[in-house]
Homo-oligomer: A and B are copies of this chain.
Amino acid sequence: MSQHPKKAVVLLSGGLDSSTVLAIAQGRGYDCYALSFDYGQRSHAELNAAKTVAQQLRAIEHKTIRLCLEDIGGSALTDESIDVPESAQEGIPVTYVPARNTVFLSLALGWAEVLEASAIFIGVNAVDYSGYPDCRPEFIDAFQSLANLATKVGVSGGEIIIETPLIDLTKAQIIQQGIDHNLDYSLTVSCYQADDQGRACGVCDSCRLRAQGFIDAGANDVTRYIA
């Protein structure tokens, strides 16, 4: 083992996917710096979950950046006037937060530069991606190109690698990875409208994808549901 482990910034929402990514990054021997965003989500349960997961998985540091995306609006996740849908939708859903992953990756890039980290881990997924344009592999490739041009380390011929270990996995395969890394999924919150105790509604898009994932993985669904 190296005396100076490599550093990684890991985007951590506290949901199933990003928590699995943190477990994977730790498993690869990185010193992990978890990064969360308080961007006016309806539910703060996810951020509480991020804190717990970062502690449990022994991240070196967990930083939550306050970002006023509710000033920008445009999503059911940040705008109280748009309802969260409870059945499958066509096309890009109203829960899409404009340019969210671009913003998150940009801030992760800034922190990675300061830390001299060699990687940024993000839990984007092109299989069960809910129709978000900024979860596709071509988006990640474009961000990698941008990162190489935007940073001191890139200008010096180095690179901060954008790692997307979940990109080709089904929800069931993601859950299997987390179980292999002994991740306790009862700590994670995926629901778009979880209550203060982090209990899930069971009916939103995100809850339905997650529940089906546990079924498909043949795993016990440890999610805590409301009623």
Mostly helix, strand, loop or mixed at chain A's interface?
Answer: helix
Task: Name the CB-closest residue of B to A133.
Answer: B155
Do B109 and A133 touch (CB < 8 A)?
Answer: no
Is there an interface contact between B98 and A113, defined as CB atoms closer than 8 Å?
A: yes
- Residue A102 is within 8 A (CB to CB) of chain B in the complex: yes
A129 contacts chain B at the CB level, 8 A cutoff: no
Count of chain A residues near B, Cβ 8 A: 43
How many angstroms between the C-alpha atoms of A65 and B65 in the bound complex?
12
Chain B residues, CB < 8 A from A143: 146
Give the chain B neighbours of A154 by CB distance below 8 A.
133
B146 A96 Cβ-Cβ under 8 A: no
Copies in the complex: 2
Is the Cβ of B92 less than 8 Å from the Cβ of A100? Answer: no
Contact present for A63 and B71 (CB under 8 Å): yes
Tell me, in angstroms, the Cα distance from A143 to B92 when the chains sit together.
22
Q: Given that A65-B71, A138-B149, A150-B139 are contacting pairs, would A113 and B133 also be in contact in the complex, using a CB cutoff of 8 Å?
A: no
In angstroms, Cα B133 to Cα A107, docked, is: 16
A206 within 8 A of B: no
Chain A, residues 139-169, CB within 8 Å of chain B (1/0): the string is 1001101110111101100000000000000
Which residue of B is nearest A155, CB measured? B133
Question: Which of B98, B109, B110 has a CB less than 8 Å from the CB of A151?
Answer: B98
**B72 A110 Cβ-Cβ under 8 A:** yes
Complex Cα spacing A64 to B188, Å? 33
Q: A66 at the A/B interface (Cβ < 8 Å)?
A: yes
Chain A 67-101, CB-CB to B under 8 Å as 1, else 0, gives 11101111000000000000000001000111111
Known contacts A66-B66, A155-B92: A98-B102 contact under CB 8 Å = no
A197 to B73, CA, bound (A): 33
Residues of chain B within 8 A of A96, CB atoms compared? 152
- Interface membership of A44, Cβ < 8 A: no
**Which 9 A-B pairs rank lowest in CB-CB distance, beginning with the nearest?**
A99-B110, A74-B114, A98-B110, A98-B113, A102-B106, A103-B106, A142-B146, A99-B109, A139-B149
